[in-house]
Amino acid sequence: MKRKPILVIEHCEPTLSEWLMLEYKHAAKLWGDKLVFTRVSRKKTSEVLQHLGQVTSKKAKDFYAQRKCVVLDPQAKKPLTSKDCATFDVLIIGGLLGYENPQGRTKTMIADETAFQTRHLGLLQLSIDGAVFVTKAICLGMNLKDIEIAQEIEIVHDAVHSTILPFGYPLINNTPMITPGLVKYLIKS
Ligand SMILES: C[S@@+](CC[C@H](N)C(=O)[O-])C[C@H]1O[C@@H](n2cnc3c(N)ncnc32)[C@H](O)[C@@H]1O
């Protein structure tokens, strides 16, 4: 990446659940430095997230009011491109867990509150860490249409039980990139 933008995860969930934390940890590992968690109001959550990146209680729209920001929103009209990564200072991803039927929370909780531009990462709803992976691949020069994404994945627990995760999962050598620890967590719970 010639010029690495700041990646913001705007923490919008009321609690830091185990599932959310698994995605945040993986997102932090994927992006590396220049990661900021915004809108973190609880002291305890802030203490935990400080181990993964910079933390502020402010919303991205206020913390980065003077910078060129773009919100990654599934409802955006334009796709994210490598050129965007060179143009924008800050890329904002929602710290939001997905529902089977996407509820447009990125738009209502983040994009609609700002005048920032928006970009999408394809038609499928990705997990937070999946969105970070695809964003990084694009910032490294890939074209969105060349990134393979599985439509959903099935976690098989035993001969009769399984869980369908109805989200897009980037494929690496034909294998879906699942959040580390998520399968163990789903089996346990
Ligand atoms: C699990 S998604 C939450 C989506 C949320 N349920 C909604 O309907 O907007 C977590 C975050 O990843 C990013 N994301 C996931 N899929 C995306 C896509 N196809 N295009 C753009 N951003 C995406 C968004 O920033 C989103 O807030």
Residue ranges of domains in the chain: 6-147
The structure tokens 């009321």 sit at 14
Q: How long is the chain?
A: 189
What is the structure's pLDDT at 150?
95
Query: What's the gap in Å between 3 CA and the centre of ligand 1?
Result: 24
What is the structure's pLDDT at 3?
87
For 155-182, give one letter per residue: b (16+ CB within 10 A) or e: eeeeeeeeeebebbbbeeeeebbbbebb
Query: What's the gap in Å between 120 CA and the centre of ligand 1?
Result: 8
Domain 6-147 fold is Alpha/beta knot (3.40.1280)
Query: What's the gap in Å between 160 CA and the centre of ligand 1?
Result: 31
Pick the atom of ligand 1 nearest to 102's CA: 8
pLDDT digits (tens, 9 = 90+) for 29-82: 999 999 999 999 999 999 999 999 999 999 999 999 999 999 999 999 999 999
pLDDT digits (tens, 9 = 90+) for 74-115: 999 999 999 999 999 999 999 999 888 888 999 999 999 999
pTM score over 0.75: yes
109 Cβ below 6 A of ligand 1:
no
118 Cβ below 6 A of ligand 1:
no
80 Cβ below 6 A of ligand 1:
no
